[in-house]
Chain A
Amino acid sequence: MAKHSPVTGRYVTIDVDGCEYKVFYLQNGKGIPLVCQHTAGCHNHQWRGLLEDAEITQNFNVIAYDLPRHGKSDPPHNKEWWKEEYKLTADHYVNFILKLCDALELKNPIFMGSSFGGNVALQLALRHPNRFRAVIPVEAAGYAPGFYLDWWRHPHSNAAQVCASGVWDLMAPQSPDMDRWLTWFYYSQGSEAFKGDLYFYSVDHDLREELKNIDGRRCPVVMMTGTYDYLTPPEESENTARQIRGGVYIEMEDIGHFPMSENYPLFRVYLKEALRIIQERTGR
């Protein structure tokens, strides 16, 4: 008897700012849509634990997509994308998420993302609070400078290994070896997009003057950050949450910047608390 996972994968084609994207996503569950964004230079396998979590997928329709240029989502099919340097902007990133949610006919979803996915969650809460039931920015901050580096795609080194080992100690030493090495492996596959993703993460994303305009009462914002995250350390996330009206901050002990991928059993404890808070605040 074959051991099939309940997770299924599909492609959907959408147009975003004139770019034709054939987007791959994984899905499992029923109920409230929970849309999940992987970290920069990575892909949706980071959400493998959540996608197969029987308890959470009983009440949540978990959708983890590959952003274009990552995993199984190609760069745009209607552009000569290889002729220009990839730099992800906040505007395009936000537009992509809205178009994807429209295409999948998701009503009032929760959006959760980690790292550059967490930062875009803050952008969504600011720009489109009426489109989302809530957002869960994981390992996020209003501003996260310092990681837009040439080393991620330097032609004189093995970019795959530089990206994978360059983010190695973003993970906690306590996280299981297998999960840390799987995360390393995913990172070895995404080096061509990593630097361009980090243009958004460290350069184009700057909400320091805008956090006060996010209304966590209209769109609840529950931030979560691991104590071993050196890039967005806990105090940065806490400081961000404090400036958001109604913002919530949860500190995750003994975990790092890729919590859903490096140690899902621990991450899910905190995620369940975040979902409980959202349910309490939205009454659903």
Chain B
Amino acid sequence: MKPDINAWAKKFESLTNSDEAIGAMARYYTCTFMFNMEHAKIIVEMHDGKVKRIDTAPGPIDAYDFVLRASAATWREFAKPIPKPMFHGIWAAMFRQDLTIEGNHLILMQNLRNFTIQFELLRKCGVPV
């Protein structure tokens, strides 16, 4: 059965907006990023620590600051409650697996604390691929 990408988006938004660690330093967590999961592309727009919009069907020239790109298999590993070694974070997967991060790296670094926390929420909501 094909995963329901819109249901996933709602869950990811809810988890993000209710996360206490993000909420503790939410102000200025403002950026737009894409998850490229091979079979799905998703753009997440953040504003002051809250999800402003999740676009599950972005067009070819829709804008974002940076994109995380990896195979669907890698994303499925990211989303396990306890990922295997080398799939347990963006740095690990960049160094040792097929994850690439493209775009404006400075914006990622400026938001790294909260983005790292938010990325790990995938362990709770899974991925739509």
Q: Which residues from chain A sit less than 8 Å from chain B, CB to CB?
A: 146, 151, 154, 156-158, 161-162, 164-166, 168-170, 172-174, 227-228, 230-231, 233
Contacts of A162 in B (CB 8 A): 109, 112
Q: Contact between B91 and A166 (Cβ–Cβ < 8 Å)?
A: yes
Contacts of B110 in A (CB 8 A): 156-158
Q: Contact between B91 and A230 (Cβ–Cβ < 8 Å)?
A: yes
Q: Contact between A161 and B85 (Cβ–Cβ < 8 Å)?
A: no
Question: Of A164, A168, A174, A230, which is within 8 A of B86 by CB?
Answer: A230
Docked pose: A66 CA to B57 CA in angstroms: 51
Q: In whole Å, how far is A55's beta carbon from the nearest beta carbon of chain B?
A: 29
Closest to B82 in A: A173
**With known contacts A156-B106, A161-B112, A164-B113, A233–B96 Cβ distance under 8 A:** yes
Q: Contact between A169 and B91 (Cβ–Cβ < 8 Å)?
A: yes
Contacts of A146 in B (CB 8 A): 95
Q: Contact between A154 and B82 (Cβ–Cβ < 8 Å)?
A: no
Q: In whole Å, how far is A190's beta carbon from the nearest beta carbon of chain B?
A: 16
Docked pose: A66 CA to B37 CA in angstroms: 43
* B116 within 8 A of partner (CB): yes
Listed residue (B96, B105, B110) with the most chain A CB atoms within 10 angstroms of its CB: B110
Contacts of B90 in A (CB 8 A): 169
Question: Of A151, A168, A174, which is within 8 A of B109 by CB?
Answer: A151
Q: Contact between B88 and A166 (Cβ–Cβ < 8 Å)?
A: no
Q: In whole Å, how far is B63's beta carbon from the nearest beta carbon of chain A?
A: 20
Q: Contact between B112 and A154 (Cβ–Cβ < 8 Å)?
A: no
Contacts of B109 in A (CB 8 A): 151, 154, 157, 162
Q: Contact between A231 and B106 (Cβ–Cβ < 8 Å)?
A: no
Docked pose: A273 CA to B86 CA in angstroms: 26
* B89 within 8 A of partner (CB): yes
Docked pose: A172 CA to B84 CA in angstroms: 9
Q: Contact between B83 and A161 (Cβ–Cβ < 8 Å)?
A: no
* B40 within 8 A of partner (CB): no
Q: In whole Å, how far is A219's beta carbon from the nearest beta carbon of chain B?
A: 30
**With known contacts A146-B95, A165-B116, A157–B83 Cβ distance under 8 A:** no
Listed residue (A169, A174, A227) with the most chain B CB atoms within 10 angstroms of its CB: A169
Q: In whole Å, how far is A81's beta carbon from the nearest beta carbon of chain B?
A: 26
Binary interface encoding of chain B residues 84-103 relative to chain A, with 1 for a CB under 8 A from any of its CBs, else 0: 01101111100110000000
Q: In whole Å, how far is B16's beta carbon from the nearest beta carbon of chain A?
A: 16
7 closest A-B pairs by CB: A169-B89, A230-B92, A165-B112, A157-B109, A161-B113, A157-B110, A165-B113
Q: In whole Å, how far is B20's beta carbon from the nearest beta carbon of chain A?
A: 12
Q: In whole Å, how far is B85's beta carbon from the nearest beta carbon of chain A?
A: 5
Contacts of A154 in B (CB 8 A): 106, 109
Contacts of B88 in A (CB 8 A): 169, 172-173, 228
Docked pose: A227 CA to B88 CA in angstroms: 11
Docked pose: A230 CA to B88 CA in angstroms: 9
Q: In whole Å, how far is A221's beta carbon from the nearest beta carbon of chain B?
A: 24
Contacts of A151 in B (CB 8 A): 105, 109
Contacts of B112 in A (CB 8 A): 157, 161-162, 165-166
Closest to A226 in B: B85
Q: Contact between B83 and A170 (Cβ–Cβ < 8 Å)?
A: no
Task: Contacts A169-B88, A230-B96, A233-B96 known; list 9 others, CB within 8 Å.
Answer: A151-B109, A154-B106, A157-B106, A157-B112, A161-B112, A168-B91, A173-B88, A173-B120, A231-B95
